[in-house]
Amino acid sequence: MRKKIIIGNWKMFKSNKEAVEFITEVESKLNLNSDTVAGIAVPFTMLSDARKAAKKLVISAQNCYFEKEGAFTGEISIPMLKSINVDYVVIGHSERRDIFKETDEMINEKNKALLASGLTPILCCGESLETYEAGKTIEWVKNQIVKAFKGISEEDAKKVVIAYEPIWAIGTGKVATPEIAQNVCSEIRSIIKDIYNDNVSQAILIQYGGSVKPDNISDILNQDDIDGALVGGASLQVESFLGLLK
Ligand code: 13P
């Protein structure tokens, strides 16, 4: 049985103080079973304090750079994240791809470097509304997945968490139906099977993200190939975040 993994992506919201208060309050009310991983992806400035405050939640960064060190003004390396015990790192979020022009090749470098360092990548993929309406979702996502896993061993591939986030469902309130989400996540599992084998494809965790809320999360998580959710807006308030974990 695969675990469930529910991660809140805070994007560029909240202060350090708010992050620590949030974690303290959530953890005082949280009863997690051993089959569920829950956590938050916070901005870089909050990672250290969030990591120290969190006992039950895992803490994720929202990005990283793949070089160990060097003249890369404004970037944060994986050893830096490791030194403060960050657990997960989101890579290839559509906002990074679209606004900051990250390429599939950069995301592949990040994926490889994270796995080599023992951190867990949460690798995002997903299509635009235009691609969705053109019926090219699978083709698009396949290209992103194949490129992201280039040069990654079977053993390492199993450790990656894939997050399927259709761009048209992010922050729009327009959630993909559980059937649409299941269909794409099942296709992603077969793409992984084609690259590796059945063993890897059955082990790998696949999340859905895009307008997930406390009132629609159970229908989504009930789908066979969906192992969790990556949640933006609904992860920012304590009650709503706890509602996602019920
Ligand atoms: P929303 O849940 O706000 O739609 O955001 C989804 C997302 O981008 C998570 O990474």
Written as one letter, the residue type at 194 is: D
- Label residue 181 by pLDDT band (50, 70, 90): very high
* Nearest atom within ligand 1 for CA of residue 173: 4
- Label residue 13 by pLDDT band (50, 70, 90): very high
Q: Is the pLDDT of residue 175 over 90?
A: no
Tell me the C-alpha distance between 67 and 48, whole Å: 21
Identify the active-site residue in 93, 102, 109, 127.
93
pTM greater than 0.95 (yes/no): yes
Residues paired with 91 in a beta bridge: 123
Is 171 annotated as ligand-binding? yes
CATH number of 4-244: 3.20.20.70
Is 210 annotated as ligand-binding? no
The closest residue, in CA terms, to atom 1 on ligand 1 is 232
**Predicted local distance difference test score (pLDDT) of residue 199:** 98
* Nearest atom within ligand 1 for CA of residue 211: 4
Torsion of CA 113, 115, 118, 123, to 10 degrees: 100
Among this protein's residues, is 165 annotated catalytic? yes
Is 10 annotated as ligand-binding? yes
Q: Mean pLDDT throughout 3-27? A: 98
Asked whether the beta carbons of 181 and 226 are under 8 A apart, the reply is yes
Q: Which of 165, 167, 235, 236 to mutate to test the pocket of ligand 1 (most atoms within 8 A of CB)?
A: 165
Asked whether the beta carbons of 93 and 62 are under 8 A apart, the reply is yes
Angle of helix 178-195 relative to helix 137-148, nearest 10 degrees, comes to 40
Q: Which residue has the tokens 């019920």?
A: 246
Identify the active-site residue in 95, 102, 109, 165.
165
Write down the mean pLDDT value for the chain. Answer: 97
pLDDT digits (tens, 9 = 90+) for 59-104: 999 999 999 999 999 999 999 999 999 999 999 999 999 999 999 9
The closest residue, in CA terms, to atom 7 on ligand 1 is 232
The Å distance, Cα 71 to ligand 1 centre, comes to 32
In Å, how far are 8, 40, 221 from 173, measured between CA atoms?
Answer: 16, 20, 18
Residue 117 phi, psi dihedral angles, 5° rounding? -95, -5
185: left (phi over 0), alpha (psi -120 to 50) or beta: alpha
Torsion of CA 160, 161, 164, 165, to 10 degrees: -110
- Label residue 172 by pLDDT band (50, 70, 90): confident
**Predicted local distance difference test score (pLDDT) of residue 18:** 98
Q: Which of 10, 231, 240, 241 to mutate to test the pocket of ligand 1 (most atoms within 8 A of CB)?
A: 231
Asked whether the beta carbons of 46 and 161 are under 8 A apart, the reply is no
Among this protein's residues, is 93 annotated catalytic? yes
- Label residue 185 by pLDDT band (50, 70, 90): very high
Output the ligand 1 site: residues, CB below 6 A: 9, 93, 165, 170-171, 209-212, 230-234
Sign of CA dihedral 114, 116, 119, 125: positive
Tell me the C-alpha distance between 66 and 218, whole Å: 35
